[in-house]
Chains A and B, each alone.
Chain A
Amino acid sequence: MALSKVKGTLERVLDKNLQDLVRGIRNHKENETKYVAECLDEIKNELRQENVAVKAIAVNKLTYLQMLGYDISWAAFNVIEVMSSPKFTFKRIGYLSASQSFHEGTDVLMLTTNMIRKDLGSQNLYDAGVALNGLSCFITADLARDLANDIMTLMTSTKPYLRKKAVLIMYKVFLQFPEALRPAFPRLKEKLEDPDPGVQSAAVNVICELARKNPRNYLALAPLFFKLMTSSTNNWVLIKIIKLFGALTPLEPRLGKKLIEPLTNLIHSTSAMSLLYECINTVIAVLISVSTGIPNHTASIQLCVQKLRILIEDSDQNLKYLGLLAMSKILQTHPKSVQTHKDLILQCLDDKDESIRFRALDLLYGMVSKKNLMEIVKKLMVHMDKAEGTNYRDELLAKIIEICSQSNYQYVTNFEWYVSVLVELTRMEGTRHGRLIAAQMLDVAIRVQAIRPFAVAQMAVLLENAHLLSNNSQRNGICEVLYAAAWLCGEFPDHLTDPKGVLEAMLKPKITLLPGHIQSVYVQNIIKLYANIIKRAEGQNGLAGVREVGEMLQEKLPIFIQSADLEVQERACCMVQLVKYVLKSQDKDGDTAAAIAEELAALFAGDLNPVAPKAQKKVPVPEGLDLDAWINDPPSESSEDEDRPVGSSIFVTKDNNEGSFYHETAKVKVPDMTPEERTKAKEQRRVDQAHNPNYLKGDVKKSASNTSADGNLGNSVVELDLSIPLRVPGLSSSDQYMKMEQSLRTKKAGKKKRKKRKKGGNDESDEEEDIPQIHQVSTVEEVPEGAEAVSDKEEDGGDQRYKKLDIDLDEPLRPGEILPVRTHRIVPDHKLPEPEEQPKEKKKHKKKEKESKKDKKKSRDSRKEEREKRKRKKQSIPGEADEPSLLKEDHEEIAGDNTPLSSPRDKDMPSRGATATNSTDKMNDYEFWMSSTDAQSPAHSEPQGKPTTEVKVTPVQDITSGDEAKVDTSAHSKKKKKEKKEKREKKEKKSKKSKLKAGDYEEAGGITTPSQEVVDPSQLETPVTAKPMSSYRLLAENASIKMMYETRVSPQRGDQLILSVVFTNLTPHLVNNLEFNVMDTLNTKLSRGMGQASHDAVQVPFVLPAGLSNEGQFAFSVDSLVQPTKLRGTLTYMVKMAEGSTHEKVDFRLTFNCSSFMSALPCKSSEFASLLSSGDLTEKSTMKCTPLENSFDVSLLRICFYNHFKVVEKVEGSASLYGRSIQGHHLCLLVKYNNGEITVDGKSAEGALLSNVLADIKTVLTSDVL
């Protein structure tokens, strides 16, 4: 030990390990870079050494440095060296480093393929684990392609740890190599029902990720997920599934209807907040996608809203946040339900947490009404004053504008108030929303004609105080409002009280500091103002002052001419000339002067209407105009300067220096034009101009509003304006309006008439409040004539990567659509095992798919049985016990396939031969599942669900819960039992809640894949070495046909028994015209179709091709079940041979023993005890026997399996069992095992039944074959 210590310290002295590096960096805080540079040099040295251990330490250190931001890509090759070490320790270091630093651009990655393949196949579990982990981070398209097959193999590993990882990494493989999706999908789907919860969760995870991007392709999986949702207890899985459903419901409204009930149940029952929240979210998604047709639609919304309220009220900020988040989703479709919780949401606005305030803000938009708008805005403005950080303030500002302007200012009753709010908002510092405020000001002033006088007055004040606003001249800053102010003052100068003052304010030299576009608006509007001043002066006949104004302009306008902004310069030049001209004409006699005023004003005549958004886009293309056609003949291809604009070259040669490209093209074009074209062009231009918002038009559309009240209103505004002290002189405060509004409201009753009701017939018919809008908003928007109602939707381009995964998964695999398998490219005639593997692999996939499909239909062909037998045999062979290799199994299957004689699995082949039918079948399943919303017709499931195996529509229709029955008794394999158990448990639950749900569960079950790996946990407890059990018994057999049968019952139907018969054709010929008949007894009758007599035979609705088998079901109605029933029957059929057909028949005897009517319902020991002590079970009976199997466990299993009982409790050597007949008789058994002898004590209310069942049990235990 001492030596090792010494050695350790020695090593330390020589090499720095990671800890030393970290320590060193901490000790060299002041010159870290220098120290790290030294370390990097050392690391480079270490990497040059031969010893892998040293290299590994170096790489480990590099990984750390990478975290600190140092580039370590130069060491990629060394990382790979370390990865390839056989030692796990080093390998892990290498893979970690690779996962941190490698990416798609790392070129050495292509060296790793074989190494990773080796690691994936490693005997050491963790080597493969580490490799998968690393690969998940740096997988490239090449790696994905080359390794997909190896990962597929790992998906079926016997170790859940590897399966889990392999399943998860498949998502990354799909992303990089989309072609792998289809071949791999069946196996992935299989993993959804893996016995290991981790693997299952991983599969759900992957499919959810896939489905999130391309939900439509995964709709067909909905039934499976539905089943998982109702059966899984893992919250992680549940959350994922529920989230997935949230993505699927918009595509399939029927799914939503199905979901709503189980989700509501979950909401009621779960204690996990995360699950609760996701449930609510999905319910909301459902409610959004299906607005009607769901029973209890409103109840569901109410439930969601209530639960959300609880979340929001919670002291946990996280829940509060999420509650608000979900609430905003409800708001979109059901605003009313949310509005009832206004108080709560307003409260959240005051929360100290910014995230929560943001969320509450989102909701506010739905909270406002005419009544509370002012209040809410006031509140927001107070917040704005207090808020730190411009981000939140900007958000608030945008929100204020959003809620006020929503749906055409629906909630704004007083626009003076709103303009004041906007003006107040301009005082906010550092906002980025200047443009937004400006746009609002323009919009309001243009569309609300009545507000113009007030708005213009306010704008004038703004202009006079421009210095306050222009400080912040950044883009989109608050100075933008000056743009609006200048334009409004210029456009509506009639409302100005002191136009001269405004003009002066607009000519202040500081203006030149403003952004160019604002300056140009200034220049333009200065002239507009000037025109107005002249006009006014003429009215008063005093031109003296006007001249001064003109001179002032002439003096001050030139500052704009020096502007760096071209447009400002151009406009200013123009305006200066114009002013000069005006002044000149004013110098002349009075007449011209008067005329000039009018002329000048005429320049700016006309009214502006708002232009509808995207109006330009909506201009219809005139007939005969082909936008794609060449205007000129395309330049010849050979021409060398084809890329050069045609115009410019011609222009240079011909026209020397004037003009532009446009002139030139026009010139070129003109000669080509025919007179018609020219008129057309003219017409086109006219239309364009008419629709161009920048063109003033001759004919002015008057807005519909009544302008007669304008004067009135203007006066009142002025009064208000003056009477209230303001912060900035002339600026009104929004508060005053609020107070006014409030006082109005309180006095409403008395002073109703005093309200400013200006619009005559336009009373608001808003039922909740009758606050009239004082000003009317013009909703006129200019839209080009003939514009079609084009949807404004714009498709957004999704991520290309995910688009590639938009693959139809239902379509069956094409031949050759397989994962690439590594092949050796050597001499072609020397076949290596690998290429051989390829077709097998392919087959395997196909098979998988088929299997899953088959399973879906729950066809219980005996092939499976055989396979299971094989499996079990294998298990019982001690050496092979643990690893039933899937590959082997597949080999066997293939072998079985090739044998010409009808391994029974082939029976389905004809119906599945054509791939098309295959997928339609599947589709039918899904469609059917979807369409059966409630349990009205579970029996209908049969005909559609398994078209090949159904007997005849009529008899089965009698069976109202046919598939239930099937599930219940059948079970020719142990595995079925688990499913059965689940079902029953569910049924129990369900029956407690509501009967209606029956259909849901049945259908869900009907579609599912009874996973091969699922083993009943209770059976795992008892090590079973029993022989395979099957409840299929021989019914009859002759040279040409063989019939096996089993009985099934459903606890829901006390008077019915289903007989399921597998017909196997033993001849090499076709067998058809199968007719099944039974002599009815008083007690038991075969259910025949409507209108058929009691002795008519039932037609079996299929034919049996040579060597195939198929299953048919027949229902019997049963009166009493306490005695076993024996029936005689016949089957007649035709054998079609080449020489002709022969008519044959086979007789059989059917026995329905009493155990057939039992169903193994779970029973808790407490229930069991109370049942025994209740005194209801009066009859007793005892049976003793010596079982064939010398094991108590096996005997017990046999009783449970064949006689349909359930173990309630089991202790050493004895067990209590419970079973119930379909007519509700309770049977309690106590089974004791003593020295190879079994004693069964039974108790029941029905003595005959009990003794008959006990007799059955004895047969089961003592006879070998049934």
Chain B
Amino acid sequence: MIKAILVFNNHGKPRLSRFYQYYPEDMQQQIVRETFHLVSKRDDNVCNFLEGGTLIGGSDFKIIYRHYATLYFVFCVDSSESELGILDLIQVFVETLDKCFENVCELDLIFHVDKVHYILAELVMGGMVLETNMTEIITRIEEQNKLEKSEKAKLDGTPVLIQTYETLDLSILNELREKIAKM
């Protein structure tokens, strides 16, 4: 099981926090701080596994992280997860972000934390790995984005704009219908 997924920058500012076990807000902050403290003092060329986070879990738990440019991606997992597997998962996560945001950078995560959550939800659900196939993940995310856009189009549709949007709207809907039918 994955207990928590944290993303924070080189200064420890949280960019995403996803706990799969309930902790009150102040505790969550403390965990983020502690994890940052543990992770940040490590060189880049040391291994990506860390034991000894006292706040989450205990002896059964490991911190597995990767450091990309300005961001740390940290997964707190228990012993049922494969260490190398989780490292791969982090890579998949980051690559997916990269695809979805087109050259992802910290700013994307800062301003679109909700989207990052939606992407993450396609990888991990309730602390268990849901999908590791990137094409599948991206298809799902794109379909959801389309759905969102189509809804937005309807919402924004003031009378003046109906003409422009309706065509668009329909085509998207049709596409969606086709896709759903195919499944």
Contact = CB atoms under 8 A, between A and B. Distances in A.
Nearest to A11: B156
Contacts of A103: 22
Nearest to B84: A274
B183 A63 contact: no
B126 A136 contact: yes
A1195 interface: no
Contacts of A358: 51
B175 interface: no
Nearest to B152: A89
Interface stretch (A167-175, A826-834, A1029-1037): A167-175
A399 to B, nearest CB: 15
Interface in A351-380: 352-356, 358
Interface string A16-53: 00110011001000000000000000000000000001
B152 A133 contact: no
Contacts, number: 165
B76 to A, nearest CB: 15
B68 interface: no
A604 interface: no
Contacts of B14: 67-68
B49 A355 contact: yes
Contacts of B28: 69
Nearest to A139: B126
A212 B51 CA distance: 21
A126 B144 contact: yes
A356 B47 contact: yes
Interface in B169-183: 180-181, 183
Contacts of B110: 22, 26
Point out which of A18, A63, A137 has the most chain B C-beta atoms below 10 A from its C-beta. Answer: A137
Nearest to A164: B130
Interface string A234-269: 011001000100000000000000000000000000
B166 interface: no
Contacts of B9: none
A274 B88 contact: yes
A982 B49 CA distance: 38
Contacts of B180: 125
A161 B183 contact: yes
A239 B82 contact: yes
Contact of A19 (B80, B83, B111, B183): B111
Nearest to A277: B84
B59 interface: no
Given A89-B152, A136-B125, A3 B161 contact: yes
Given A96-B114, A136-B125, A318 B83 contact: yes
Contact of B125 (A168, A317, A320, A882): A168
B167 interface: no
A165 B117 contact: no
Interface in B107-165: 110-114, 117-118, 121, 125-133, 136, 140, 143-144, 147-148, 151-152, 155-156, 158, 160-161, 164
A168 B160 CA distance: 46
Contact of B156 (A4, A172, A198): A4
A3 B160 contact: yes
B85 A239 contact: yes
B121 to A, nearest CB: 5
A169 B125 CA distance: 8
Contact of A18 (B45, B50, B114): B114
A124 B151 CA distance: 13
A355 B20 contact: no
A318 B114 contact: no
B16 interface: yes
B29 A198 contact: no
Nearest to B22: A103
Contacts of B102: none
Contact of A278 (B82, B128, B155): B82
Contact of A317 (B18, B20, B45): B45
B48 interface: yes
Given A161-B183, A355-B49, A67 B128 contact: no
B69 interface: no
A171 B87 contact: no
Interface in A944-958: none
B121 A133 contact: yes
Interface in A50-84: 53, 60, 63-64, 66-71
Interface in B67-85: 80, 82-85
Contacts of B140: 129, 161
B161 A168 contact: no
A202 interface: yes
Contact of A208 (B46, B47, B80, B133): B80
Contacts of B156: 4, 7
A1024 interface: no
Point out which of A23, A70, A100 has the most chain B C-beta atoms below 10 A from its C-beta. Answer: A100
A402 to B, nearest CB: 17
B49 to A, nearest CB: 5
Contact of B129 (A19, A92, A205): A205
B183 A159 contact: yes
A198 B136 contact: yes
A397 interface: no
B141 to A, nearest CB: 10
B45 A209 contact: no
A71 B24 CA distance: 8
Interface string A105-138: 0000000000000000000111001101100110
Contacts of A882: 181
A322 interface: yes
B84 A93 contact: no
B49 A168 contact: no
Nearest to B154: A87
A355 B151 contact: no
Given A104-B22, A205-B128, A125 B117 contact: no
B148 A88 contact: yes
Nearest to B88: A274
Point out which of B18, B48, B121, B144 has the most chain A C-beta atoms below 10 A from its C-beta. Answer: B121
Given A70-B25, A205-B128, A4 B17 contact: no
Nearest to A133: B121
A914 interface: no
A560 interface: no
Point out which of B18, B85, B129, B143 has the most chain A C-beta atoms below 10 A from its C-beta. Answer: B85
A202 B130 contact: yes
A148 to B, nearest CB: 15
Contacts of A104: 22
B80 A212 contact: yes
A901 interface: no
B25 A171 contact: no
B26 A7 contact: no
Contacts of A212: 80
22 contacts: A4-B156, A68-B14, A88-B144, A88-B151, A92-B144, A132-B125, A136-B126, A137-B20, A160-B183, A164-B131, A198-B130, A198-B133, A205-B129, A274-B82, A274-B85, A277-B83, A277-B84, A317-B45, A317-B46, A353-B42, A353-B47, A354-B42
The 4 closest A-B pairs by CB, nearest first: A136-B126, A274-B84, A317-B47, A103-B22
Interface of A: 1, 3-4, 7, 18-19, 22-23, 26, 53, 60, 63-64, 66-71, 87-89, 92-93, 96, 100, 103-104, 124-126, 129-130, 132-133, 136-137, 158-161, 164-165, 168-169, 171-172, 197-198, 201-202, 205-206, 208-209, 212, 235-236, 239, 243, 273-274, 277-278, 317-318, 320-322, 352-356, 358, 391, 882
Given A69-B28, A126-B147, A278-B82, 10 more contacts: A4-B158, A7-B156, A19-B111, A92-B144, A133-B125, A136-B127, A198-B136, A317-B46, A318-B49, A355-B46
Interface of B: 1, 14, 16-18, 20, 22, 24-26, 28-29, 42-43, 45-52, 80, 82-85, 87-88, 110-114, 117-118, 121, 125-133, 136, 140, 143-144, 147-148, 151-152, 155-156, 158, 160-161, 164, 180-181, 183
